Amino acid sequence: MAHTTRTQNLAAGTLPSGAGAVPAAASALPAGGLPTTGATGRTGALDSALDRLWGLLTSMKFGLLLILAFAAFGLVGTLLIQMPAGVADDPQARAGWLAEVRPKYGGWTGILDQLQFFTIFQSVWLRAIGALLAASTIACTLHRIPGTWRTMTKPHVNVGPTFFEHAPQHEQMTFHRAPADVLAAAEQVLKRRHYRTVTLDDGTVRIYADRNHWQPWAGIAGHFSIVVILAGAMVGSMWGFRDSQFMLAEGATSAVPTEPGLSIRLNSFKDTYYPDTGAPSDYVSDVVLTRDGQTVAQQQVRVNEPLRYGDVSFYQAFFGPAAVVTVKDAKGATLYSAGVPLAWTSNNGGNKVGTFSLPGQNVAVWVVATTGPDDPSVKPGQVAIELYASDTGNPIVQKSIDQGTPTTIENLTYTFERETKYTGLNVAKDPGTPIVWFGCFLLVVGFMVRLFVPYRRIWGQLASRPDGGSSLSVAAVGRRDSDLDAEFTSLVTDIRQAVTGPARS
């Protein structure tokens, strides 16, 4: 580190020869005369409002409140079922999805939808909180920059005598050497230890020394990293998508959200378990990706082996049972035939539940699996079909049907074909990811610098003695810094040896 020494001599200043001349009051006024009371009032009100806004943005309590609000909305998004990507922008798909969840949330469904709680991670609430949090972080960072810059470029050299008596680390030394010799020796010791030194001579020589004086900027970099991470999240929210509930039953094909012409098919799903604990050891989805009917990718997707195609990624997330259900009308035309992922759990009884909508029908269909031999309503080998009105969520009918047996319910024939499995994928397109990674890099670098590169500051006061010698007081601040205690003791020892060594010779 560069070592600089600057000696500043205080001298009594004098006023310039014209300092006594006071300009006439009239000449100090603008050409238009005195401002009007209204203009002054408006300017004062604006300044006061800006001051209050700045005080709010730089308030630690306000920042903490924003963080808590951000976490609270994230918790809401975790507890409530979120609308899949691409559904919110399609009125028909949105209405169908709301019909499927209306039996679960009842009359609250419309309210929660209006409040954007089903799309919380793309909601105006979360974006507004994120913007305010970014503004607060920027304001706090800007608020700290002038003080950090002054500390680095114009350190506070002159400290009071009581500081050298009450500082956590302090020492007083006397030498039979001239102050100039003691100062030169002390500066050499500090230079060897990579300290920058600044001296001030006002009759008593005052010494300031620091090492790693740029270290406080790491804290500002840490603050800035939060802004970068929030910016990346906002970019991903506005120009990307994430569907954390993308589910496919074996043999099913589904379009990829917001990617025209792109579809994915689940050929098979396999899960294995540890024999001693029964915990999953591996689960893998064999998928095929097609664009406009042409295969563009095929891969076995695992938890740590996502499928990536362009800027779209498919991550293995979860899995579970599914039921293949076929629905036909009175003429035998097939209205629906697919595997229904049983991804939900009923509020009473703990049954696995799946849902789908029938085209052209004001009905949402719930498929309820059995909990086992003790289930009073759904026996093993059966599923329960529950029908609800799509527009109101009111129940229509509930009936258990046997596997392989076509059963007529409300003029439609339902057949529980067989059991199968489904896979749950996280499908994501996030252009803000590089920005988030850069922010994380800044955060880690700032944290590592603050943790492992200590900022050391030492003050000294050198005065001459009547016998021709000198007295040197040094002090540092570090109440809970054991490393500074050891370093300060070593520094004092080196200064003593540097000053007295030549005298012995």
- Strands across the sheet with 262-273, in order? 253-255, 262-273, 280-291, 294-301
- Average pLDDT rounded to a whole number, residues 252-279: 89
Alpha-helical (H) ranges within 415-504 are 433-452, 482-504
Work out the mean pLDDT of the chain and round it to a whole number.
Answer: 85
State how far the Cα of 460 lies from the Cα of 477, in Å rounded to an integer. 12
Write the CB contacts of 294 (distance below 8 Å, at least 6 apart in sequence). Answer: none
Q: What is the pTM of this model?
A: 0.61
Mapped to the 3 state alphabet, what secondary structure does 251-319 carry?
A: CCEEECCCCCCEEEEEEEEEEEECCCCCCEEEEEEEEEEEECCEEEEEEEEECCECEEECCEEEEEEEE
Write the CB contacts of 362 (distance below 8 Å, at least 6 apart in sequence). Answer: 389, 390, 391
Range from 41-50, 354-363, 418-427 carrying the lowest mean pLDDT? 41-50
- CATH T-level assignment (fold) for domain 155-215+454-504: TATA-Binding Protein (3.30.310)
Inform me whether the pLDDT recorded for 32 exceeds 70.
no
Amino acid type, 275 = P
Token reading at 503:
């005298």
Q: Where are the beta strands (DSSP E) in 177-239?
A: 196-201, 205-211
Which sign does the torsion angle of CA 401, 402, 408, 414 carry? positive
Range from 7-11, 319-323, 364-368, 465-469 carrying the lowest mean pLDDT? 7-11
pLDDT digits (tens, 9 = 90+) for 282-315: 889 999 999 999 999 999 999 889 999 988 999 9
Torsion from C-alpha of 500, 501, 504, 505, nearest 10 degrees: -150
State how far the Cα of 133 lies from the Cα of 422, in Å rounded to an integer. 39
DSSP label at residue 468: S
Where does residue 476 rank: exposed (0-12), middle (13-18), buried (19+ CB within 10 A)?
buried
Write the CB contacts of 436 (distance below 8 Å, at least 6 apart in sequence). Answer: 228, 229, 232, 233, 236
Coil/strand/helix, residue 147: helix
State how far the Cα of 483 lies from the Cα of 169, in Å rounded to an integer. 12
Domain locations along the chain = 52-146, 155-215+454-504, 241-429
Mapped to the 3 state alphabet, what secondary structure does 349-406 carry?
A: CCCEEEEEECCCCCEEEEEEECCCCCCCCCCCCEEEEEEEECCCCCEEEEEEEEECCC
pLDDT digits (tens, 9 = 90+) for 423-470: 999 998 888 889 999 999 999 999 999 889 989 999 999 999 998 899
